[in-house]
Chains A and B, each alone.
Chain A
Amino acid sequence: MKKISLLIIVLSTVLISNAQDLNDFKGLQSGGVLPLDFTTSSTDKFKTDLDANQNEDLDKDFFLSTRFFIDDLLLSGRVLFNEPLSKYVNKVAKYTLRTEKKLYSELRFYVLKSTAVNAFSTDQGIIFFTTGLMAQLENEAQLAYIIAHEVSHYTENHVRDSYVEKQHLNAGNGKYKRMDYESRISELSVYKKSNELDADKKGIDIYMKSEYAVDEIFSSFEMLLYSYLPFDEVQFDTAFFNTDKLTIPGGFFPDTSNEVSKVEDYDDHGHSHPNIQKRIDAAFDIVDGKTSRGDLKFKISEEEFKKVRNLARFEGLNMLLADREYGRALYNVFLLQREYPNNRFLDLCYVKSLYGLAKYKNANRYREVTEKPKNIEGESFILHLFLNDLTREQINIIAYRHANDMAKKYATDPIFEEYQLDMKKELAIGARLDFDQLKSKSYEEYMLGLEEVILEFDVQDSIAKVEASDLSKYEKIRLKKKLRAIEGDINAPNEEAYDFYEFGLYDLVADEHLIDDLEALKKEERALEEEIENDENTNEGLDVAKLMIVDPVFENYRINNKRNLTKSEDQKVDMANIYTQTYPKLKMETDIIDSKLLTKADVNRYNDIGLIFQWMDEVLNHGEIDMISSNHDQMGKLQTKYGTDHFLFTGVFAYKDRHEFSSMHFYGIIFIYTAPLVIVDLLVVHNHFEIVAFSVNAEEDEVEFVTVSDVNLRSTPKVIEAYVYDVLYQINNGGGLR
């Protein structure tokens, strides 16, 4: 029965994960069952691998640090398996290594959700490829070469050898004996570069056994060289933000882009990798004289490659939005909309990006979410410079224009409506807009109307009347300035000079009473603020019926400040049990998602961990800005699934230390009777721990409860239990800072 239910889970998750519709893209999620790499405890991995180790140069610390570090990554919820990307990578790897069946069976290939362009292997035979890399690939052959390169790092034991080399460096043994620190680091860099060239060499040997084109080895290097640029270089369309109601004059955009400056032969001093030119030269030497078995760019499937690459690019958008890189997200939307016009997901990302920019602009934190144009190379420079120069009014109008239009386009889609309503509120309050500036006519109509008025209006005569009037000097200056501006507009209408934002919502002002709505929202907000000011009892509890605890952290440090990894893992599991046990006096239900308690059927929970942490990270970064998080729609599903809006993130950090000699100790020794106490105090190892907990509300996208305690006690399970109870109690009874 258990096996049957497992099969059903596997089949359903596989079907769901494979049925990814780009129009309704919901983010990449792993499927099937959790591999053993995810369900074996780090302590077990460490013990097994240490017992099996035959290399005397590798110490216990190597196995401890690597197993726990890689497991932190594996259990982050950001690793993809049994879904289209990793399946495709596995297929290419299987083909590339088809003559090395035993080697292939030792390896596991996973895809890591990250915008960085990278691939890396571990000494355990796990090879990671980032979605950022998958998004940049031009063809399957490039992927095959990167697989071959990473596999070579594994077969040549580069991870293990690098560790041993670093140990020698730290200890100053062997060739490092008479070197100063700088020279040692430089020598290590040389060592790492030689490993890379070695992996290139062995990788080419593997690659040449396939039917992929030799040229793609070199194009892989170029792809890596320019991987800091977006996945395509297309001139930005200055009409990208225009609609039939909003026109941004072309003068707001620069005429030229910023040239791409990076060259193959860059200075690689201090880098772990040789520069691309050196790698290309070395590769030429290796390839020279070898016979190519084919010139294929695709062996498995071009169609599947493109599908997978697009999934990676779509996922990249999710990550950029969560990382608040709204400018980069907009450029990627621009690129993807060329292939996928009218795509709901892209439209939503478009709205989210503009919304995020407006929110941060209004909060005077715009620099956090925009790029410095001087740092941007290539075609996206135009967009970044445009965004950089936008005023608060302009970005708010653009954001609301599109939020409003998209809400109409997707009239039955509540998430678009949610953004439209919140953006309207932002326009009313956060944008600090002078509503009178908003025109009820389009620019063209306005100019026509103005001309008619002006024909009957003698500007010079009016100026003369102003000058002759009893107005103050300053009023005269102001009025004359306005009159001359009108005169200038009439005599030489300059399309580039007008501020488009005033006309950007003209239809809504004219037909939908936008200004009345904005006034009403403003009034409502004032009333709410007054209500909050008058509410004296601000320390009420949250009255949470159910709380979801998300992957609690337990870090136990030794007296030398090194983490006791195995103990930390045990204590983490203990703490998970403490959080979920029943407390009769607590009117609160708790549930937990703990990465260390996952079983192979818990793949959905694993995906949830990734999503929740991405969401939490974004909400924390928004801080005081009251805004809808980019994962709000996805989190809505988890709220329903777990039956709560409240997600608690918590951790215990336990330390040991000895007290340093202080003036109190000195006086304690002088007063001879307390000298023994002073000596005991200095010799005894003192235990203390910090317990941190904060609850984030998924409905409101805000941190609703925070507590931090530094406790001078040993972190025994019973003590932790008391503190965990206290955290849970404070949530419902008014403790914590909110």
Chain B
Amino acid sequence: MKNYIILISFLFVSLSGQAQSGYLGDLNSAEFKINLMPTRLRNNKLGQVHSEPAMLSRLRYALPSFELNYARTVARKIELSAGLEYASMNLIGDIYYSGNTERVIDNVKANRIGLQLGFKYYRKGSFSPIGKYIGFSLHFGGAIASPGDGLVYGKVTNALPASNFFVRKRDVNSLHTVLDLKGTEAFYGGMRFGMGRNYPLGNGLTLNIGISAPLLTFFHNTLDGQTGVRMWRTDTISISNSNVSQSLIHTLYKYNRILLNMSIKKYF
């Protein structure tokens, strides 16, 4: 216990041993961040091929989300931040309805809004806010599906010859509409681990490039009230009338995987 206290004291002293200079004297910053989740998932839309209804599955290279943060250098090597995050999402991936013969054809839109609290430790000779860092962040928020005509599902054929790598096309054999997701909410929370570096650009501006990964995530939705850690290992899920909102949680999960991020910070 004594050694533990000495270790903690040493770490504390070494962290706060020097005064924080910030970026050319500025300790506060406003940050606009773009997160991109690299993916090969597809976004399904109900469209037409030769005037016939068809399911068009467009390749999504990256799923974007945005953050607006305030950050402050609080010790020589430590920066804290707080902010809002937003993503305009489409229900994503292959979602089957009641088994695996019929699938959701038209992925409705949803908006995700959340809060984040971040902690960054600048390492390898760097000091806040220039250079390399590792950090943790806490995220809380919710997603709400946009108003629509209901979740469209049906039977589709295999990919047509007219498909290509970017857009897969399938004929629609049958078409139904199920429960409207309008107003369906899902909540999420979790912790992420991140690392990256801040490059000074001058005039109080820095460019941040980093990567982050979820350490722990949990979800809750209003329809079936399920809460817990979700660790889907597949891109495919099956939903039914009783748990249709799982599709929203599934999408939230997809948006919460490893992210590449880039941000511009203005110091003041």
Binding site for B on A (CB under 8 A): 539, 541, 583-586, 688, 709-713, 716, 718-719, 721-723, 725-726, 729-730, 733-736
Contact = CB atoms under 8 A, between A and B. Distances in A.
B200 A729 contact: no
Contacts of A733: 19, 21
Interface stretch (B61-69, B127-135, B137-145, B241-249): B127-135
- What are the nearest 3 A-B pairs in CB distance? A585-B25, A735-B18, A711-B125
Given A710-B125, A711-B124, A713-B132, A726 B21 contact: yes
Contacts of B130: 713, 719, 722-723
7 contacts: A539-B17, A585-B24, A585-B25, A709-B127, A712-B131, A721-B24, A725-B25
B19 A712 contact: no
Given A583-B25, A710-B125, A736-B18, 8 more contacts: A709-B125, A712-B124, A712-B132, A718-B200, A725-B25, A726-B21, A729-B21, A730-B21
B23 interface: yes
Contacts of A539: 17
B197 interface: yes
Nearest to A587: B25
A688 B17 CA distance: 23
B77 to A, nearest CB: 11
Interface centre among A585, A723, A725, A726 (most CB of B within 10 A): A726
B124 A725 contact: no
A718 B202 contact: yes
Nearest to A718: B200
A585 to B, nearest CB: 3
A679 B25 CA distance: 39
A583 B17 CA distance: 23
B32 interface: no
B253 interface: no
Interface residues on B, range: 20 to 34
Contact of B21 (A584, A713, A725): A725
A694 to B, nearest CB: 15
A447 to B, nearest CB: 61
B26 interface: yes
A78 B84 CA distance: 61
B126 interface: yes
A488 to B, nearest CB: 60
Nearest to A709: B125
Nearest to B127: A726
A716 B201 CA distance: 10
A585 B18 CA distance: 18
A730 B19 contact: yes
Contacts of A726: 21, 127
B19 A541 contact: yes
B226 to A, nearest CB: 30
A734 B26 contact: no
Contacts of A718: 199-202
B265 interface: no
A711 B132 CA distance: 9
A719 B131 CA distance: 8
Contacts of B112: none
Given A541-B19, A730-B19, A713 B131 contact: yes
Contacts of B199: 716, 718-719
B72 interface: no
Given A719-B200, A721-B24, A722-B200, A734 B19 contact: yes
A729 B19 contact: yes
B76 interface: yes
Interface in B194-241: 197, 199-202
B158 to A, nearest CB: 31
B18 to A, nearest CB: 4
A719 B201 CA distance: 9
Contacts of A710: 124-125
B16 to A, nearest CB: 10
B76 A735 contact: yes
Contacts of B24: 583, 585, 721-722, 725
Nearest to A720: B200
B197 A735 contact: no
A543 to B, nearest CB: 13
Nearest to B129: A722
Contact of A586 (B25, B126, B201): B25
A734 B131 CA distance: 22
Nearest to B18: A735
A542 to B, nearest CB: 12
A712 B127 contact: no
A734 B126 CA distance: 18
Contacts of A722: 23-24, 130, 200
A586 B126 CA distance: 20
A587 to B, nearest CB: 10
B267 to A, nearest CB: 10
B181 to A, nearest CB: 35
Contacts of B125: 688, 709-713
A736 B18 CA distance: 7
B205 to A, nearest CB: 10
Contacts of B132: 712-713
A52 to B, nearest CB: 40
Contact of B126 (A711, A725, A735, A736): A711
A575 to B, nearest CB: 15
A504 to B, nearest CB: 48
A376 to B, nearest CB: 47
Nearest to A710: B125
Contacts of A729: 19, 21, 25
Interface string B52-67: 0000000000000000
B18 A734 contact: yes
Interface string B144-161: 000000000000000000
A539 B13 CA distance: 12
A722 to B, nearest CB: 5
Contacts of A736: 18
A689 to B, nearest CB: 9
Contacts of B197: 713
B169 to A, nearest CB: 32
Which of B19, B26, B202 gathers most chain A CB within 10 Å?
Answer: B19
B208 to A, nearest CB: 13
A716 B207 CA distance: 14
A734 B76 CA distance: 12
Contacts of B76: 735
A584 B23 CA distance: 12
Contacts of B127: 709, 726
Contacts of A735: 17-19, 76
Contacts of A734: 18-19
Contacts of B131: 711-713, 719
A730 B18 contact: yes
Nearest to A730: B18
